C-alpha cells in the first residue's frame, strides 16, 4: 500500500473546527514572527538542531516484557524495522524523528500517517506537514478526525490511522506552538538582528582616526592616505608599527556604550530563547558562563530535564497509536535508549559499571554491550558478595554461615 492509500473523503461532515496552528502576526517590535519563519533565527535554529538531532540519534526499539521483569527486543514484530531503520521507503528513522521534533519545536504538534495491510499490520509510517493539518471533533460521536490539505484538495484521516505527538497542550487535543506563544521575545531578538544588519550596511564606522596640527594640503592628504593604505591595511600588514610624520597622531575609536549595550542585549535574547527550549547555553555555542567543571553536569541535566520529558511524550504517543490494546497487554512497548548520554566520563562509567557487576545488577556482558563491545563466554552470570544476605534471614536468625569459612575452628 502506498502513501494515502485507503483515505476516504465523505461528502459532508457536521464538525466543529479546532485549528492546529495559531497564526503568527506582527508584534510590538513591528517584526512578524510565525512558526514558518522562526527557524531563520540563529538561536531558534541552533536550539532546534540540538533537540532534533539529539533525540533522533538515540536508539528507538520495541521490546516485549514477559511479566517477570525480563525483556527482550521484539525483532519479529512488524514495528521493529520501521522504528529501528526505515519507517517508509523514502526516509530513515533519524530523518523521520528529526522532522517530528522540529514540528514539535515550531508548531507544538507532529502527525504521521499509519499505513496498514489487509491484516491490520503496520507496513509504513509517513510524516505529515503539521501546518496543513486541521484537527476536528465530530458532533454526535465525538470522534477526532484529521483534515489534511494536499495538492489543493483535502483528505480525511481517521484517528486510528494517525500517530499524534503533542507538545504542551491547553485542551489536551492539540499542542501549543512555542514560537507563537513567545513571539514577542523572539521578535525583539529578530529586530536586533535586522537593526545590526542595517547598521553595518548603512553606517560608517572606523577603527581609528588621524589628527594633524593645522590643515593638510591636497597633495599631503593624498600621500598620507596612499601610504597608509599601502603599508598598514590588510592582513599582511596587520600589527606593523606605524610611522607618522608632520605631527600626525592616530587615535583609536573604542566601542560606544550604546553599541556595548546592543551586544549585551543580543546575548540576553539568545539566552532567553535557549530557556524557551530548555537548552543549555553552551550547547548553542554560548560559552560565556561555561567552565570545565560545570559543562559535564549541564550536559547530564540536559539529558535528564530536557530530553527525558520529550522522550516520554514520544514513547507514550507511539505506544498508544502504533500498538493495539492486545499488544500492550502482551508486554510490547516502545522505548528510547538514553543510557549512553547518562553515563558520564570514562572514569565515572568504569566505577559505575564495576558497582553494577559486583552488586549483581548487570552481568559482564551487559556492561560490554553498553560499551559497544562483544560479549565473552560465561559472561551472562550474575555475581554478588558472599557476605550479604536478606533482611528476612537476619530477622529469623538465619545467616550465611554455611557459606563462610569457619575461622573460629582453627583458632580454638
Q: What is the rounded average pLDDT of the residues 171-177?
A: 91
**Is the entire prediction scored with pTM above 0.85?**
no
Highest-confidence segment of 257-261, 300-304, 313-317, 336-340: 313-317
Average pLDDT over residues 299-322: 94
pLDDT tens-digit map of 63-119: 999 877 788 999 999 999 999 999 999 999 999 999 999 999 999 999 999 999 999
At 292, is the pLDDT very low, low, confident or very high (cuts 50, 70, 90)? low
User: Three-state secondary structure along the chain?
Assistant: CCCCCCCECCCCCCEEEEECCCCCEECCCCCEECHHHHCCCHHHHHHHHHHHHHHHCCCEEEEEECCCCCEEECCCCHHHHHHHCCCCCCCCHHHHHHHHHHHHHHHCEEEEEEEECCCCCEEEEEECCHHHEEEEEECCCCCEEEEEEECCEEEEEEHHHEEEEECCECCCCCECCHHHHCHHHHHHHHHHHHHHHHHHHHCCCCCEEEECCCCCCHHHHHHHHHHHHHHHCCHHHCCCCCCCCCCCEEEECCCCHHHHHHHHHHHHHHHHHHHHCCCCHHHHCCCCCCCHHHHHHHHHHHHHHHHHHHHHHHHHHHHHHHCCHHHHHCCEEEEECCHHHHCCCHHHHHHHHHHHHHCCCCCHHHHHHHCCCCCCCCCCCCCCCCCCCCHHHHHHCCCCHHHCCCHHHHHC
User: What pLDDT sits at residue 112?
Assistant: 97
Least confident of 67-76, 153-162, 226-235: 226-235
Instruction: Give the tens place of pLDDT for each residue, 7-31.
Output: 444 433 433 333 334 444 567 777 7
What's the mean per-residue pLDDT of the chain? 81
Amino acid at each position: 500500500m502506498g502513501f494515502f492509500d485507503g483515505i476516504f473523503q465523505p461528502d459532508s461532515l457536521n464538525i466543529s473546527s479546532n485549528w492546529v496552528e495559531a497564526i503568527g502576526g506582527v508584534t510590538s517590535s513591528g517584526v512578524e514572527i510565525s512558526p514558518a519563519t522562526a527557524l531563520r533565527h540563529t538561536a531558534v535554529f541552533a536550539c532546534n538542531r540540538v533537540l532534533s538531532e539529539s533525540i533522533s540519534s538515540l536508539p528507538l526499539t520495541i521490546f516485549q516484557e514477559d511479566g517477570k521483569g525480563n525483556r527482550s527486543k521484539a525483532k519479529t514484530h512488524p514495528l521493529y524495522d520501521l522504528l529501528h531503520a526505515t519507517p517508509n521507503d523514502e526516509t530513515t528513522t533519524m530523518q523521520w524523528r528529526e522532522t517530528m521534533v522540529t514540528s514539535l519545536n515550531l508548531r507544538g504538534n507532529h502527525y504521521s500517517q499509519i499505513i496498514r495491510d489487509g491484516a491490520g499490520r503496520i507496513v509504513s509510517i509517513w510524516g505529515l506537514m503539521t501546518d496543513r493539518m486541521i484537527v476536528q471533533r465530530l458532533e454526535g460521536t465525538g470522534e477526532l478526525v484529521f483534515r489534511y490539505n494536499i495538492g489543493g484538495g483535502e483528505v480525511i484521516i481517521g484517528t486510528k490511522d494517525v500517530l499524534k505527538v503533542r507538545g504542551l497542550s491547553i485542551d489536551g487535543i492539540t499542542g501549543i506552538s512555542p514560537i507563537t506563544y513567545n513571539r514577542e521575545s523572539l521578535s525583539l531578538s529578530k529586530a536586533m538582528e535586522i537593526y545590526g544588519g542595517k547598521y553595518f550596511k548603512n553606517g560608517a564606522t572606523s577603527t581609528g582616526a588621524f589628527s594633524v596640527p593645522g590643515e593638510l594640503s591636497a597633495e599631503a592628504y593624498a600621500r598620507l592616505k596612499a601610504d597608509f593604505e599601502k603599508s598598514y591595511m590588510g592582513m599582511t600588514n596587520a600589527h606593523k608599527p606605524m610611522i607618522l610624520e608632520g605631527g600626525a597622531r592616530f587615535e583609536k575609536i573604542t566601542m560606544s556604550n550604546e553599541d556595548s549595550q546592543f551586544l549585551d542585549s543580543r546575548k540576553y535574547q539568545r539566552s532567553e530563547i535557549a530557556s524557551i527550549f530548555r537548552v543549555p547555553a553552551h550547547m548553542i555555542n554560548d560559552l560565556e558562563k561555561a567552565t570545565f567543571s560545570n559543562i559535564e553536569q549541564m550536559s547530564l541535566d540536559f539529558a535528564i530535564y530536557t530530553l527525558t520529558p520529550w522522550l516520554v511524550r514520544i514513547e507514550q504517543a507511539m505506544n498508544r497509536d502504533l500498538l493495539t490494546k492486545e499488544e500492550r497487554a502482551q508486554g510490547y512497548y516502545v522505548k528510547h535508549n538514553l543510557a549512553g548520554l547518562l553515563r558520564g566520563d570514562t572514569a565515572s562509567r568504569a566505577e559505575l559499571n564495576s558497582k553494577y557487576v559486583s552488586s549483581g545488577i548487570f552481568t559482564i556482558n551487559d556492561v560490554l554491550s553498553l560499551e559497544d563491545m562483544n560479549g565473552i563466554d560465561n559472561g551472562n552470570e550474575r555475581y554478588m558478595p558472599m557476605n550479604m544476605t536478606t533482611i528476612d534471614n537476619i530477622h529469623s536468625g538465619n545467616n550465611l554461615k554455611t557459606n563462610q569459612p569457619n575461622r573460629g575452628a582453627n583458632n580454638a
